[in-house]
Structure 1
Amino acid sequence: MPDTGPDAPASPATGRRVIRWQAAVALPLALVGFLVVIQIRNVWEIKRTLRIPSTQLEELGFVLREQERRRSALEAQIADLRSRLADYEKAAAEGRTAAVLANRQLQDMRALAGLTPLEGPGVVVILNDSTRPPRPGEDPNKTILHYSDIAAVVAELWASGAEVVAVNGERIVSSTGINCVGTTILCNTKRMAPPFVISAIGDPTHLQGYLRRPGGAVDLLSSFDFPVRLTPYPRVEVPPYRGTFRFEHAGASEKE
């Protein structure tokens, strides 16, 4: 009977099982150890190649994250500035539009006040003293034009729809007076002599038809042998008013 006590020697079969178990455990441990060594060498190789300590890599990571944060903040600021710029451009465009409208209204008011030269279709009326010599005993003043003759033609031009009128280059405005001193005719305080060239801008057909009507100023002047030439034109130029506007008693009212 074999000895089976604690001090009995191990059987050959038992020894072979122990050796197999030790080999099974040692091989994985050796493989793990080999992988650890390889990993450590790889880390050392990376550090050696980069020449950057691990602590510095952590710092660089922090700096990178901080730069990303700042970049995001700058992008937000850029978006805000672009939005403001769009608002400013819109306001500027609206301001330019308002300025254009204001300038257009100003030009219209200047034109109505007679301060700008104008052109357009219209008529030109040329009046001259009578070519007929005075009859014996006839007043010579009856053969020369008077300020009332000029004023009558101008009034009929306004009545026929003329928009702008000038006499011998003097623009007729609201304060214009046509009068005389002796035999000298004055318009805007400027002395004038025949021939009197009256320029008017408006519908040529309407202006001409109204002035040629029977019993009108042109018809009466022609009947007394005063030369009258009435010509329509597709383009008539009228100069601006060059005088001054003075109000001694009138002033702007706050009421509309």
Structure 2
Amino acid sequence: MKLRGRHVIFSLVLFVFGFLITFSYQQTKNFTQPNELDEQEWERDFFYRQQLIQFEDKNNQLQREIDQKRQDILRLERQLSAEAEEIEIAVDKKTKLQLITGELPIQGPGLFVTVRDSEYIPSEENVNQYIVHDRHIQLIINEMYSAGAEAIAINGQRIFSDSYVYCVGPVISVDGIQYPAPFTIEAIGDPDTLQESLEMPSGVIDILLNDQIEVEVGKKQTIEMGARIG
């Protein structure tokens, strides 16, 4: 009986000892696996974080490039806008010059001056002293240009920079085309300025009247003149 009791006790001790070893191993295994999993998760997390950082850096770089492109586009638009304004100004100047030189037709408000030979010519006087001469026409034209006339015509024929006016007996020749009196000189420009310039004291109108020339001055709302032909 005593021997069997010792065996029982010894067996019990061995059982408890084995249980403790098994329990300890299981606990150690349980503690080890989470640590291994935590390390793997940390590595994945680190990898994804690095990827995210790279993506953010790339995105920032692309954003900077986009901002730079926008600045370049704005600068180019301002440059093109300035060039367009310069072109528009140049075209406007060219058009104005073409109107003045007669390359284009022109119309606008203005003034007309009609001059006639004197109706009364004393028999003892020289008739040439009572008729319109080319110098009278040229005097009117010069004064009109000085007053800002943009275009001038004589009896409907437009005057150009190379035009010539001279007397041929009782008629006036304009670029080879002859016109009898009366002569109407039209000018496109500011009517008030043109009239004030012509009617200044001791000015053109007074000179014409002193030369026994009959003069009529009037404003016109619209005067049309054609372009040079050929």
Question: Structure 1 length as normaliser, TM-score?
Answer: 0.55
Q: Which amino acid aligns with 2:77?
A: E
1:178-232 alpha-carbon deviations (Å, 9 max, x no partner): 1133433122333323332212345544543443456655346556765421113
In the alignment, structure 1 residue 124 sits paired with structure 2 residue 112: yes
Task: Give the aligned partner of residue 95 of structure 1.
Answer: 83
In the alignment, structure 1 residue 190 sits paired with structure 2 residue 213: no
Where structure 1 has 5 or more consecutive residues not aligned to the other structure, the ranges are 36-63, 245-256
Q: Give the Å deviation of 1:9.
A: 3.8
Mapping of 1:1-256 within 5 angstroms?
A: 9=7, 11=9, 14-15=13-14, 17-18=16-17, 20-21=19-20, 24-25=23-24, 28=27, 75=62, 79=66, 82=70, 84-118=72-106, 122-132=110-120, 144-158=131-145, 161-164=147-150, 165-202=152-189, 204-212=191-199, 217-219=204-206, 221-222=208-209, 226-233=213-220, 235-237=221-223, 239=225, 242=228
CA–CA distance in structure 2, aligned partners of residues 107 and 196 of structure 1: 30
Where structure 2 has 5 or more consecutive residues not aligned to the other structure, the ranges are 34-50
Q: Which amino acid aligns with 1:199?
A: E
Distance 1:206-1:15 versus aligned 2 partners, 3 A rule: closer
CA–CA distance in structure 2, aligned partners of residues 217 and 105 of structure 1: 31
CA–CA distance in structure 2, aligned partners of residues 26 and 130 of structure 1: 143
Secondary structure of 1:105's aligned partner: helix
Q: Which amino acid aligns with 1:183?
A: P
1:139-162 alpha-carbon deviations (Å, 9 max, x no partner): 666665332332233234345x24
Distance 1:81-1:232 versus aligned 2 partners, 3 A rule: same
Report 1 or 2 for greater relative contact order, CA contacts < 8 Å, sequence distance ≥ 6.
2
Q: Which amino acid aligns with 1:24?
A: F
Q: Which has the higher helix share?
A: 2
Task: Give the aligned partner of residue 40 of structure 1.
Answer: none
Between the two proteins, the alignment pairs up a number of residues equal to: 205
* Identity within the alignment, %: 22
Task: Give the aligned partner of residue 37 of structure 2.
Answer: none
Distance 1:99-1:210 versus aligned 2 partners, 3 A rule: closer
User: Contact (CA 8 Å) 1:116, 1:240: kept in 2 or not?
Assistant: yes
Question: Structure 2 length as normaliser, TM-score?
Answer: 0.59
CA–CA distance in structure 2, aligned partners of residues 116 and 110 of structure 1: 6
Q: Which amino acid aligns with 2:134?
A: Y
Q: Which amino acid aligns with 2:92?
A: R
CA–CA distance in structure 2, aligned partners of residues 205 and 102 of structure 1: 29
Q: Which amino acid aligns with 1:17?
A: V
RMSD after superposition: 4.7
